[in-house]
Amino acid sequence: MQNGSAVTDDSRAEIYRDMWEKPVVFDEICYEGHSGARWGHLSGEEMTARFWHATIAGTYAGHSETLTADGGDHPDASWAGKGGPLLGTSPPRLAFLKQVMQDGPKAGIDPIDKWWDAHLGGQAGSYYLRYFGDATPTEWALRLPKVGLKGGEAFRADILDTWNMTVTPVDGTFTMAKLDNYDFGDPARPALTLPGKPWLAVRLTRIQAPFG
């Protein structure tokens, strides 16, 4: 399936998954590079972000680039045209995302609470990924949709810098309790402090019952 715009927002990408009820691969989300063509001038940050949006939505994306060693605008001589070495800044960041996925649940990433733009992917009740894209939040109000939760579940949190490829564990744990008819959270720790940078994600992993 080719649709570059659909993975600039994970909520929109989820629509394709729901429509077809099959694995969805976006095989052309536009390319990293500096081509004059509208499909070939994404920055490394934009390219990486589209992969993260696709992942949070429970879908997949394909990579390509139009960069050439001499910096010229001739995509046929780039990786997109003939293969060869990847020259862009996104490939190592996509390798980081791949490692995050490999460290996650074997069942993969599914969208969670897709009806309410929660921007959460994972496995309800055991594993969550929240991606913030180019926003620069200084905190995240930790509220999880009720699906899969009963109360008493404890989670550890990691802050992922998806561009600098770092994982920063958050001290302590978060113990879930019912907050209202829709959400669970930790009343003692209602928010998670973030560094106010773009390209951040938060990973929550249940520590009482490992996912499989």
Q: Which two tokens stand for residue 145?
A: 């949709």
Contact 160, 167 (CB under 8 A): yes
Q: What is the pLDDT of residue 210?
A: 46
Half-sphere exposure of 44 (CA within 13 A, CB side): 13
Look at residue 6 and tell me whether its pLDDT is greater than 50.
no
pLDDT for res 209? 55
The residue among 105 and 7 whose pLDDT is bigger is 105
Reading the block at residue 21, the tokens are 């009820």
Residue 76: predicted pLDDT: 83
The residue behind tokens 């990973």 is 203
CATH 2.60.40.3950 positions along the chain are: 110-206
Q: Is the pLDDT of residue 21 over 90?
A: no
Distance between start and end Cα atoms, the chain: 30
Compute the distance between CA of residue 174 and CA of residue 155 in angstroms, rounded to an integer.
Answer: 5
Mean pLDDT computed over 162-188: 97
Tokens for 200? 């951040």
pTM of the shown model: 0.90
pLDDT digits (tens, 9 = 90+) for 88-131: 999 999 999 999 999 999 999 999 987 776 789 999 999 999 99
* Residue 78 pLDDT > 90: no
User: Per the structure block, which two tokens stand in for 49?
Assistant: 């972000």
Predicted local distance difference test score (pLDDT) of residue 4: 45
Beta carbons of 18 and 57 less than 8 angstroms apart: no
As a whole number of angstroms, the distance between CA 9 and CA 15 comes to 11
- CATH number among 3.40.190.80, 3.40.50.300, 2.60.40.3950, 3.40.190.170, domain 110-206: 2.60.40.3950
Kindly state the average pLDDT of the residues 154-170. Answer: 98
Given pLDDT bands bounded at 50, 70 and 90, which one contains residue 13?
Answer: confident
The reported pLDDT for the residue numbered 63 is 82
What pLDDT is stored for residue 212 in this prediction? 47
Are 34 and 88 in contact by the 8 Å Cβ rule? The answer is no
Please indicate whether residue 210 or residue 122 has the higher confidence score (pLDDT): 122
Mean pLDDT over each residue of the chain, to the nearest integer: 89
Q: Phi/psi at 28 (nearest 5 deg)?
A: -145, 95
Burial category of 89 from C-beta neighbours within 10 Å (exposed 0-12, middle 13-18, buried 19 and up)? middle
Q: What's the rounded mean pLDDT across residues 73-91?
A: 86
